[in-house]
Structures are given as C-alpha cells and as structure tokens.
Homo-oligomer: A and B are copies of this chain.
Amino acid sequence: MSVAPRRIGVLGGMGPEATVLLMSRVIAATPATDDADHLPLMVDMNPQIPSRIARLIEGRGEDPGPVLAAMAAGLQQSGAQALAMPCNTAHHYAPVIRDAVTIPLLDMVEMAVAQAAQQVGQGGLVGILGSPALQQVGIFDRALARHGCEAVYAADQDALLSAIRGIKQGGPSVAARDALADAARDIAAKGASLQLVACTEFSLIADAAADHARIIDTLDVLVQAMLDFAR
C-alpha cells in the first residue's frame, strides 16, 4: 500500500446489526495481508437516533434529521473524508446530512438505483424490497424516475414491516425469510425481475429473495463505493 487509505465516517446504529454487517463486509471485501491494509473508519453507532419508521410511517416522534446532521458534522470533525449510512430509509434525510458537511455522502440509494437502471434500461421495472417507509416517502421512485425507470413494491407491506421489526428484535428468522421470499415472488409476478434489497435488515437474509429474482443488495453497492473512495 503506497498511500494511506482515506477515512470514511459511518452514520450507524440503524440498526446496530446493519452497521456491524457493513463493517464485516468492508473487511471481507478488502484485499489485506495485515491490519494496516484495512480501511480506517469512524463509526458513530447511535441506536438512539429517533425512529425513522415511527416518524415517516406513523407520523409521530422526534425528527431524526437534526440528529443525523449533528452526527455527520461530528464525523467530519473527527477526520472523516466521506460519509456512509447503512440504512436505506434514512437516506430520506440525505439532503439535511449534505447541508451539514462539506464532505461527500456516498449515497447508497442513488448508487444502487444507477446500477439497477443500467441493467434494466430505459422504462425498466425495478423491485424494492424494504420498509414501507421507502414507498411512502418515494425516495427510490424519484431516484429511478431520473433514470426513466419505475419502482415496483410488494402488495403486503405489513408483512415486510413485521419482518424488519422481528429482525431488529430477535435477529434473522424463518418467518422473516418467508416474508422476504413472498415479497420477491409477488414483485417478480408484477414484471420486475431485478430487485433491490433495500433494507439493511434484509441484507442479513438477502439469499431468501434470490430464488425469485436477480438481486442487487444496496449494502454491497455501498461497500464497493467505500472501497473505491478509500483508495
């Protein structure tokens, strides 16, 4: 390694397991023969960020925006040269985060959408496997529309929300895997053969969807972007 890798700040804790999963995947994806080959990260693991689901779906609770903005500013102050956020739903707050810093946010949603759009082409359908909040706030719809593509969602969004809550509470389960597989099958029947695993809880069980569609895990897109940025 000729040049020291650049440090990346992680807006973490949404949930804690997803942050650890991101870190594990970054480590696994880094060619390394000793500690020093690995990426330097500053991880703000803050599980007390106000619930995105409560705020966006149920319209209650504190606004997570200012908390995320303060975390971003703190990470920049700690020497981070870019930011990564392993939570798709929280990317609803990407504008607030960008306003708080002068370093780039490696935008998981934008990058995953760009990759999917390239694969399905103009007018293509892309399935979204994530929290109901994603559909409600429309971040994937808007990002896909900019590429002339369209988002497709599973009919039973309650089942996906239950699965996410179940994983946050007790880790991956057969019930959560079944819910994700059902959603992938439903979306595939609607014509979307390419689907984004767009919830870091579902990244833990992404293979459950892979029987029914080609899958891009947004978390893997972020991992690759982090490796590219760091070098």
Bound complex: CA of A132 vs CA of B170, how far in Å? Answer: 39
**Is A48 an interface residue, CB under 8 A from the partner?**
yes
Interface contact A42-B45, CB-CB below 8 Å? yes
Q: In chain A between 48 and 82, which residues have their CB closer than 8 angstroms to a CB of chain B?
A: 48-49, 51, 74, 78-79
**Is A175 an interface residue, CB under 8 A from the partner?**
no
**Which residue of chain B has the shortest Cβ distance to A40 in the bound complex?**
B46
Of the residues B35, B78, B79, contact of A168 by C-beta under 8 Å: B35
A17-B27, A20-B23, A78-B78 known; A45-B41 Cβ under 8 A: yes
Main secondary structure of the interface of A (DSSP, over half): mixed
**Is A148 an interface residue, CB under 8 A from the partner?**
no
Of the residues B4, B40, B47, B78, contact of A36 by C-beta under 8 Å: B47
Interface contact B45-A40, CB-CB below 8 Å? yes
**Which residue of chain B has the shortest Cβ distance to A23 in the bound complex?**
B20
Interface contact A43-B41, CB-CB below 8 Å? yes
Interface contact A20-B24, CB-CB below 8 Å? yes
Interface contact B78-A51, CB-CB below 8 Å? no
**Is A189 an interface residue, CB under 8 A from the partner?**
no
Bound complex: CA of A41 vs CA of B4, how far in Å? Answer: 25
Interface contact A16-B38, CB-CB below 8 Å? yes
Bound complex: CA of A44 vs CA of B43, how far in Å? Answer: 6
Identify which of A15, A32, A35, A37 gathers the most chain B CB atoms within 10 Å of its CB. Answer: A35
Bound complex: CA of A169 vs CA of B27, how far in Å? Answer: 11
Bound complex: CA of A77 vs CA of B41, how far in Å? Answer: 17
Bound complex: CA of A37 vs CA of B46, how far in Å? Answer: 10
**Is A133 an interface residue, CB under 8 A from the partner?**
no
Identify which of A33, A38, A78 gathers the most chain B CB atoms within 10 Å of its CB. Answer: A38
Q: Which residues of A contact B (CB under 8 A)?
A: 4-5, 13-17, 19-20, 23-24, 27, 32-49, 51, 74, 78-79, 165, 168-169
Please list 29 pairs of residues, one from A and one from B, whose beta carbons are closer than 8 Å in the complex, sorted by A's number: A4-B48, A5-B48, A15-B35, A15-B38, A16-B27, A16-B38, A17-B27, A33-B169, A34-B169, A35-B47, A35-B48, A35-B49, A35-B51, A35-B168, A36-B48, A36-B51, A37-B47, A38-B45, A38-B47, A39-B45, A39-B47, A40-B47, A40-B48, A41-B43, A42-B43, A42-B44, A43-B45, A44-B78, A78-B78
